[in-house]
A = this chain, B = another copy of it.
Amino acid sequence: MTPSFNPPIRRLMGPGPSDVHPRVLGAMARPTIGHLDPEFSRMMEEVKDLLRYAFKTKNALTIPVSGPGSVGMETCFVNLVEAGDKVIVCQNGAFGGRMKENVERCGGVPIMVIDEWGKPVDIEKIEDVLKTNSDIKAVAFVHAETSTGVQSDAAAICALARKYGILSIVDAVTSLGGTPVLTDEWGADAVYSGSQKCLSCMPGISPVTISEKAASVVRSRNHKVQSWFMDLNLVMGYWGGEGARVYHHTAPINPLYAIHEALVMLKEEGLEQAWERHAKMHNALRVGIEAMGLSLIVEEAYRLPQLNTVSIPEGVDEAAVRSTLLSRYNLEIGAGLGGLAGKVWRVGLMGQSATSEHVILFLSAMEDVLG
């Protein structure tokens, strides 16, 4: 017989998932009810409101998509991009590359704006493309690059999109709840995130918000969305009004209890207070890291407080360090991705993992392991 699985108790300080609070784990374990139950329907409205709070938006179309962050991303692309559409894709890390894949698989034409891994998106390069092309539909960029720990200037990129009358698609997977995501103030058109980063819910839900302008683009497409599951025109029949919900797919009931609780906790703390906490813990971590003779690879102005890319000292077996941190301290940190593999560790201070306890554990454990 296969025994039940009892996971070890880790401290999650990688690029996500982050530590999930017992309140959220407890919410997830509440009894399952039906996806058309009036009580569930009422909770859905609360989740939408709480997500609007987190996204700082009034967008009606603000929902938790039933899948991991990658589904949130793909939902935005398949709904907004049709065959032949030109989309500027800013790539300054791993996730820009994924956006390119998404545009191509929609039959769209990605126009790449490439910046070095570890640097923010260069806004001038975007404007250069816009000046010389008149038929661009959208610009897509990653607000907080989880592969590098870089934050790009979302306000400026969205402003540029509005100036040229194109849509903006924003990857806020790692930023939401950790650093300001100001959807309405930016005038962003489609913003997607993940549950398992600064919201500290378990992975599997992707918060998405769509502006009225973008929603009207979805409603007036020339062709059906290529994904039945992600077609917002259908999804909104279920998530839309407060009235009768039309069955589309069976909502993931318990994960939605969990995101509800995680968002309730965010609101209790206060969004601004959560941003401050992330910044404060990042500063503590930075001071400690520098005192150990290590350094962050990202320039101070662009650093994400919640995702710190720490350079690996010469001669150190980086995988052995991570493995020892895990076995000796139950502490998870992340490896480098793509071009940064073997060059950096990724140390997350996300959501419930952004506490002084985490900072001190990491610094002490690292000091021990590095000898």
Do the beta carbons of B70 and A249 come within 8 Å of each other? yes
* Cross-chain pairs A/B with CB under 8 angstroms, 13 sampled: A1-B268, A2-B267, A7-B32, A7-B43, A12-B32, A16-B250, A17-B32, A17-B34, A38-B326, A66-B71, A69-B249, A71-B249, A203-B252
Docked-complex contact B16 and A33, CB < 8 angstroms = no
Contact residues of A with B, CB < 8 Å?
1-10, 12, 14, 16-17, 19-20, 23, 25-35, 37-40, 43, 46, 49-50, 66-71, 74, 78, 98, 101-102, 104-106, 194, 196, 202-204, 224-229, 247-255, 257-258, 260-261, 263-264, 267-268, 326, 332, 337
Residue of B nearest to A197 (CB): B250
CB contacts (< 8 Å) of A249 on chain B: these are: 68-71
- In the complex, A104→B41 CA distance in Å? 31
Q: From residue A304, how far is it (CB to closest CB) to chain B in Å?
A: 17
State whether A264 touches B34 (Cβ < 8 A).
no
Q: Are B74 and A228 in contact (CB under 8 A)?
A: yes
Query: So how many copies of this chain end up in the complex?
Result: 2
Give A350 to B105 CA distance when docked, in angstroms. Answer: 38
A89 to B: closest C-beta gap in Å:
13
A337 touches B204 (CB 8 A): no
B29 lies within 8 A of A26 (CB): yes
Within the complex, what minimum Cβ distance (angstroms) separates A185 from chain B? Answer: 23
Would A260 and B33 be within 8 Å (CB), given that A105-B227, A224-B105, A254-B202 are in contact?
Answer: no
Across-interface contacts of A6 in B (CB, < 8 A): 30
Q: Is the CB of A37 within 8 A of B332?
A: yes
A225 to B106, CA, bound (A): 10
The answer to whether A228 and B67 touch (CB under 8 A), given A250-B194, A255-B202, A255-B252, is no
Q: Is the CB of B247 within 8 A of A337?
A: yes
Identify A5's interface contact among B7, B9, B27, B228, CB under 8 A: B27
Complex CA distance for A162 and B133, rounded to whole angstroms: 52
Contacts of A34 in B (CB 8 A): 10, 12, 14, 17, 332
Chain B contacts of A98 at CB under 8 A? 228
A171 to chain B, nearest CB (A): 13
Among residues of B, the one whose C-beta sits closest to the C-beta of A3 is B264
Are A33 and B4 in contact, CB atoms less than 8 angstroms apart?
Answer: no
Enumerate chain B residues within 8 angstroms of A248, measured Cβ to Cβ: 70
Q: In the complex, which residues of chain B have a beta carbon less than 8 angstroms from the beta carbon of A196?
A: 32, 250, 253
The reply to whether B35 and A25 form a contact with Cβ atoms under 8 Å apart is no
Q: Which residues of B contact A78 (CB under 8 A)?
A: 227
In the A-B complex, list the 3 residue pairs whose CB atoms are closest, starting with the nearest.
Answer: A204-B252, A29-B29, A70-B249
Task: Provide the bound-state CA to CA distance between A262 and B130, in Å.
Answer: 53
- The interface residues of chain B lying within 8 Å CB-to-CB of A257 are 5, 7
